[in-house]
Amino acid sequence: MSSSKVHIVGAGLAGLSAGAALADAGETVVVWEGAAQAGGRCRSYYDPVLEQVIDNGNHFVLSGNSAVMRYARMIGSHEALVGPERPITSFVDITRARRWSITPSLGAFPSWLFDKGRRVPDTVPSDYLELVKVLIARPDQTLGDVLSCKGALWERLLHPFFLGALNTEPEGASARLAGALVRETFAKGGRAYRTRIAHPNLAAAFVDPALAFITSRGGEIHFGRRVRALRFDGPRVGGLETAEGQVDLGPDDRLILATPPWSASELVADLTAPNEFRAIVNAHFKTPGPVGAPDMLGVIGGVAEWVFCFPDRISVTVSGADAIVERGREDLARTFWEDVKRALDLDRPMPPWQIVKERRATFAATIGQDARRPDAKTRWNNLSLAGDWTQTGLPATIEGSLRSGFRAAALAVSAHSR
């Protein structure tokens, strides 16, 4: 094992993936996390109101997310990502009481588009050619510049898909980032976009196994140790300042900064990083999903956008939620529950509930904010950056977070070998 160390500031998914990759490569890892737990915006915790473990938000990944699958295999959590063997995504329009599922072909050739029962209702195969425009969009174009943003395909599939993945109202979002999503999902065929949901929770799939993996290989995890400043010594970072004192970095030690962009900007004064963010609002209801309900259901025509059914709870997620994030918690819970009842055809009184608001859930996926994303490599020879807000080529997703961690880890390894 290497005598030098790689210090990682931040134990969100970017920091954990960097730590896991480095530990796997035989590096000695030291993680500094200001909070009392790991996971960042992808965490699980015991909620005393519901008397059960819940996730701060609902996340799903896709079978074609290469970094997600690499990470899960590395830390041994692949079986905690659950989903159908064949691609299927279900929707309900609660204003028209209409339900449908799209069931794409496994291969890249989209034969499913020629089957009326497998594509979006009221669409024809030629409608889907519009996605080609996203693939060839210029960096200075929004989705509104390249797509019509109307019609059945937009309302019943593309708008909810892009809103959930970009966490930004799609019409004004970067077409380049949207194109990256299409290139890695629809363009690859159904094998690449089978949904995968963490069961029983996010911690089981992404957090706890990573912590165990890092520590089992000699790594250290320090919780409640917020890094307040970095000490720059010419071309390198020479130390960290925590509330408990200074931590000096040895001559061969390296540092990965895997904090949110606002924290990174405080630690690195001249860092250009995203500074506009979008909210996500989640709700959890202590009642099991009905038998036979899909694990994930897209909702059209309501305030709720996605409904997730677990054995012990029903959860709701609303992306790009700036318009509702300031609404009262009980008002939101009642609004969501009415949508849930209609979406799942339930006749139940509202069970115990919890509302979780993430006001700065992701950076705004606009052209301007995308341009502010820095590269992982910095001008300091022992410092690299990680986070979904760095220039991953993707919007702020779990896949982007994990890729950023792997990229920062690779830079740290190469810095030591020079």
Q: How confident is the model over 148-157, as pLDDT tens digits?
A: 999 999 999 9
CA distance 398 to 70: 13
Which residue reads 């094998």 in tokens?
191
Q: Is the pLDDT confidence value at 417 over 70?
A: no
Q: What is the pLDDT of residue 418?
A: 58
- State which residues form the domain around 268: 5-45+202-273+368-417
Q: What is the pLDDT of residue 358?
A: 97
- Parallel, antiparallel, or unpaired for β 220-223 and 28-33? parallel
Overall average pLDDT of the 195-216 stretch = 97
CA distance 182 to 185: 5
Note the pLDDT tens digit of each residue in 225-277: 999 999 999 999 999 999 899 999 999 999 999 999 999 999 998 999 999 99
**Residue 296, C-beta contacts closer than 8 angstroms, at least 6 positions apart:** 60, 89, 90, 195, 197, 306, 307, 308, 309
Same-domain check for residues 99 and 233 = no
Overall average pLDDT of the 202-212 stretch = 97
Same-domain check for residues 256 and 344 = no
Overall average pLDDT of the 48-63 stretch = 94
CA distances from 173 to 177, 268, 286, 364, 371 (A): 8, 28, 35, 8, 12
Residue 134 in domain: yes
Same-domain check for residues 216 and 359 = no
- The band of 27, judged by pLDDT with boundaries at 50, 70 and 90, is very high
Same-domain check for residues 145 and 223 = no
Task: Retrieve residue 357's tokens.
Answer: 């608001």
CA distance 236 to 79: 41
Q: What is the pLDDT of residue 1?
A: 46
Same-domain check for residues 356 and 409 = no
Q: Nearest 5°: CA angle at 134, between 281 and 386?
A: 55
Same-domain check for residues 268 and 387 = yes
% of the chain at pLDDT higher than 90: 97
Note the pLDDT tens digit of each residue in 56-83: 999 999 999 999 999 999 999 999 999 9
Residue 224 in domain: yes
Q: Is the pLDDT confidence value at 2 over 60?
A: no
Note the pLDDT tens digit of each residue in 80-127: 999 999 999 999 999 999 999 999 999 999 999 999 999 999 999 999
Task: Retrieve residue 7's tokens.
Answer: 């210090």
Residue 68 in domain: no
Same-domain check for residues 312 and 293 = yes
Same-domain check for residues 117 and 180 = yes
Q: Are 213 and 129 in contact (CB under 8 A)?
A: no
Mean model confidence pLDDT for the chain: 96
Overall average pLDDT of the 400-411 stretch = 98
Same-domain check for residues 95 and 176 = yes
Residue 242: give its domain's CATH number. Answer: 3.50.50.60
Residue 385 in domain: yes
Q: What is the pLDDT of residue 3?
A: 82
Same-domain check for residues 178 and 118 = yes
